[in-house]
Amino acid sequence: MVHRHTWAVSDFVVRPSGPLSGSVSIGGAKNSALKLMAACTLAEGRYVLRDVPQISDVHHMCGVLESLGMSTERREDGALVIERGPSVISDPPYELVERFRASTALMGPLVAATGRVRIALPGGDNFGTRPIDMHLRGLEALGAITEVGERDVQIVARRLIGARIELDYPSVGATENVLMAAVLAEGRTTICNAAREPEIADLAAFLNRMGAQVLGAGSSTIIVDGVDRLRAVEHTVIPDRIEAATVLAALGVAGGEITLRNVRHDHLGMLMEKLGHMGIRTSPEGDGLWAMATGRRSATNVATLPYPGLATDYLPLLVAVLTLADGTSFATENVFAGRFRYVSELAHMGADIGVDGHHMVIKGVKRLTGTAVEAVDIRAGAALVIAALGADGETVISGGDHLDRGYEGFVDKLRDIGVDVSRSLA
């Protein structure tokens, strides 16, 4: 059993606050934790995962794992304990999986562990905009047969055989699925043009601890020598670089001087570079980061790219900062073509942003205006909270449940550094 949280639908209410101060501890990375949880389907035994954030996406993944016959429990020290018996069910119920994209990470490990999987396609209509064709081609290259139906996909493989796989694009999800399948395949798999995100390296470290033989994760060529058996292990999830970026962007708008604890500076290189251009000073301090912002931010140009480029998840946060910067900035989204729905909400608050295709022209204004706006996804919601720090009056952000998907204790953490934020029942 897992601790049952209630994820109430509620608004975020933000009022302008003075400069931020104090320190905040960054939690484990959502985008790593969810994949490690999926990888626990690979082998029998008892896993202990530390620093798994208490967020609704994790809660949903626990539900999915339980539906497969596994057990999940939060220990008193916060660690997530997952147990998998000698066998595992390989068709999670449609309703549990459908609206929850990270569940696609179960395809690779389940087909490797059981020889077949039947799983809902992510988000129905989303299949058009967030396809899984590369995931499927990668698994097919390992010998799986895939059949995409209207609502779900079935993947069957009596045995997986290592192969050389060239990804069209360094997709994070496709790299992870192929990696998690290849660890139990027969022979060597080479993934070329692999995604290089830190979360991939964390997954490979976890798999290697389980007994897998993975080389090169974190670079664009990953070599996997398949093994017969894996075992359950303990692991600590890497810190969430997007949560760190969110707090730094809040500082960028409100100004002040803060310290972030539990960060990996080596994962934040491009972000710190861009923040520097805007006039936010950062400096590593042990396993933490000191940061300071005074006066007004400077305009700068930003463009998203696969890692080590600037993460697509950072862009809404940085755009929120640039709406208040001195001068005109250009921003380009290269990873997800349709990721602009937050722009109209920022404009509603008085931001001056023009969109042309996947480019934005942001003319900095001195102040925004608090009003009622809607969070359409996790980072869009965070961007609105950040923008609200530079708005006159109160901003009420609906769709707060999106923020619960990805941020643990968001309100408490922001309050600890001086943000005036609260929740109110919608």
**12, 57, 11, 10: which is closest to 38 by C-alpha?**
57
Would you say 17 or 340 has its CB closer to ligand UD1? 340
With binding defined as CB under 6 A, does residue 165 bind ligand UD1? no
Give the residue, chosen from 213, 285, 336, 344, that forms a contact with ligand UD1 under the rule CB under 6 A.
336
Q: Going by DSSP bridges, is the β-strand pair 145-148/188-192 parallel, antiparallel, or unpaired? A: unpaired
Would you say 127 or 290 has its CB closer to ligand UD1? 127
Give the residue, chosen from 52, 111, 172, 293, that forms a contact with ligand UD1 under the rule CB under 6 A.
172
Distance in angstroms (rounded) separating the CA atoms of residues 207 and 33 = 13
Q: Which of residues 96-115 bind ligand UD1 (CB under 6 A)?
A: 102
With binding defined as CB under 6 A, does residue 312 bind ligand UD1? yes
Give the residue, chosen from 109, 173, 226, 381, that forms a contact with ligand UD1 under the rule CB under 6 A.
173
With binding defined as CB under 6 A, does residue 174 bind ligand UD1? yes
Q: Residue 42 has which token pair?
A: 């690979």
Verify whether residue 125 is a known catalytic residue: yes
What are the Cα distances from residue 19, in Å, to 67, 271, 410? 47, 21, 18
Residue from 11, 51, 91, 125 carrying the catalytic annotation? 125
Question: DSSP letters along 173-208, please?
Answer: HHHHHHHHHHTTSBSEEEEET----HHHHHHHHHHH
Give the residue, chosen from 20, 24, 110, 134, that forms a contact with ligand UD1 under the rule CB under 6 A.
134
Would you say 114 or 126 has its CB closer to ligand UD1? 126
Residue identified by tokens 């009056």 is 393
With binding defined as CB under 6 A, does residue 313 bind ligand UD1? yes
Q: Rounded to the nearest whole angstrom, what is the least distance from the CB of residue 407 to ligand UD1 in the complex? A: 13
**119, 118, 117: which is closest to 98 by C-alpha?**
119
Q: Rounded to the nearest whole angstrom, what is the least distance from the CB of residue 165 to ligand UD1 in the complex? A: 12
Would you say 136 or 421 has its CB closer to ligand UD1? 136
Q: Rounded to the nearest whole angstrom, what is the least distance from the CB of residue 98 to ligand UD1 in the complex? A: 15
334 backbone dihedrals φ, ψ, rounded to 5°:
-100, -10
Residue identified by tokens 């499927």 is 136
Q: Bridge partners of 153?
A: 119, 148
Question: DSSP letters along 213-263, please?
Answer: EEE-BTBSEEEEE--S-----EEEPPB-HHHHHHHHHHHHHH-EEEEEES-
Instruction: List the x/- string, 60-99, binding to ligand UD1 by CB under 6 A.
Output: ----------------------------------------
Residues catalogued as catalytic:
125
Site for ligand UD1, rule CB under 6 A: 31, 34, 102, 130-135, 169, 171-174, 195, 311-313, 335-336
